[in-house]
Structure formats: C-alpha cells, structure tokens
Amino acid sequence: MTVIASLSVSLDGFYTGPHPSPDKPMGDGGEVLHSWFAHDVADRHQLTADDILRPEFERTGALVMGMDSYTHAEAAWGPHPPFEMPIFVLTHRARADDVRDGSTFHFSADGLESTIEQARLAAGSKDVALHGGGAIRQGLRAWLLDELQLHLVPVLLGRGRRLFEDVSCHFDIERVVEGPDVTHLRYRRAQA
C-alpha cells in the first residue's frame, strides 16, 4: 500500500486563499487553484474525465482528510460525494459516521498513524490518499506520505494556507506534465 496525495497549489505554495469557510471552501480568491479542471459541481464523473485525476481515483481505496476539509467542503459534495470510497476524517472528538450515497465518512480521534492504518484496512489492495492541505502536511511531517502530486497553478496568491509550513522532506521527481494553466508535478519520497 502506498500513501499518496494530490493538491493544487499556487506558485507561492498556498492551497487555499485566506478565510476558507463552508461558503467559500477555497477561501478568498482560492478558487483559481481549481480552474485547471473542468467541473461545475463536485461530481466524480466530471473530476475523472481528466487524464491526470482519473488514475488517482482508480488506484485509491480510501481517503484520510482533516476536519477542516470536511467542514469546508461537505455542503459542496451534497448527498453523493465524488469519492465513492470510505473516508476517514481526523478529528479531536469522534462522532457518528456520516453516511452518504457511495461514501461513508468515519470520524477518527485516534491520530494520523492509526487513522491511516484504518484506511489501509478499508482500502484492501488499493492505495490510501491524504486529502486536503492539513492532512497532507501532517503526513509530510510524520514521513508517512510516499507520493505527492502537486498541480502547480501559475498564480501568486500572497496569502492563505501554505502547504509547506514547518515541513522538511526530500522527494525525487517522478513525472512532470504540462497542461493548460497548470503544471502537474509528481514526486516520490526519497529513500533514506
């Protein structure tokens, strides 16, 4: 099993604009970070129409995300989230599962490593993905992230939430793909 992550970021390393909220999941001005893929709703069919995102969805058997990601985007996902797999939400207080069409959100107060292990068991032979900047940053800090794909959007946001705060890791470049208004960079964690 591989722990993977994929995230759109600005040239200055922000994954949201300032003030993300349920009304503005990407924060003020952050929606430009998702402008490279064609979608108008959080729909799996639209998201997987892209040759970059489709393989990620196909190889992923479970997700681990932070509570902020869940709180800020759950309304946009509606009754049928695009994931169609088990999702484990990192939280400080466990609560009842949020069961929706095709996806169940399990709330785990067991810490990152234990939650990744729960996701690994649910994923079977597939990979586990970290979803959202907070979970990805935790995975980087704990050296639990094996592969990171960044969708680098040519914009300077200047403020918001940075992905690489207090993070020190070494990755090897695995792939670079140029797209319209985005560069897709895939890295694999360097072996110690």
* Amino acid at the residue 114: S
- Which tens digit of pLDDT belongs to each residue from 111-153? 999 999 999 999 999 999 999 999 999 999 999 999 999 999 9
Q: What is the pLDDT of residue 43?
A: 59
- Cα 160 from Cα 162, distance rounded (Å): 6
Q: What is the pLDDT of residue 110?
A: 94
Residue 82 DSSP symbol: S
Q: What is the pLDDT of residue 39?
A: 61
Please state, in angstroms and as integers, the Cα–Cα distance from residue 61 to each residue in 1, 68, 87, 106, 148, following that order. Answer: 10, 21, 9, 14, 17
- Which tens digit of pLDDT belongs to each residue from 58-102? 999 999 999 999 998 887 788 888 889 999 999 999 899 999 988
Picking from 22, 86, 84, the residue whose alpha carbon sits closest to that of residue 47 is 84
Q: What is the pLDDT of residue 191?
A: 80
Lowest mean pLDDT among 27-36, 49-58, 100-109, 179-188: 49-58
- Which tens digit of pLDDT belongs to each residue from 37-54? 766 555 566 666 678 888
Q: What is the pLDDT of residue 113?
A: 97
Please state, in angstroms and as integers, the Cα–Cα distance from residue 108 to each residue in 23, 66, 70, following that order. Answer: 25, 10, 13
Q: Where are the domains of the chain?
A: 3-182
Q: What is the pLDDT of residue 176?
A: 96
- Cα 91 from Cα 77, distance rounded (Å): 19
Q: Does domain 3-182 have CATH number 3.40.430.10?
A: yes
